[in-house]
Amino acid sequence: MAEIKHYQLDAAFASLKQFDPFAKDDDSIQVVLWRNGEGFDAHISGVEAQHLSISWGQFRAIKKLIKELDK
């Protein structure tokens, strides 16, 4: 029989409406930290549900590039 492990996930959940003026009332976002601490998963609900799995290094790169575009 396969070994099954149980563990707790560290997650945060919020209504997307408070961040995005185009979001519908029931749209939401959830961020779950990876168990190994190397990144996170983001789940965005809505008409076109989206899922993003990203390492902390990739996240820092995205933030830096967005900051560059925002100049």
| Tens-place pLDDT, residues 10-56 | 999 999 999 999 999 999 999 999 999 999 999 999 878 899 999 99
What pLDDT is attached to residue 46?
81
pLDDT at 62: 96
What letter represents residue 11's amino acid?
A
pLDDT at residue 1 in the model: 83
Read off the tokens for 18: 């408070």
CA dist 40 to 15, 19, 52, 68, 69, Å? 18, 19, 8, 23, 24
C-alpha pair distances (Å), 12 with each of 28, 31, 61 = 11, 5, 22
Neighbours of 29 (CB within 10 A): 19
Predicted local confidence at residue 48, as pLDDT: 83
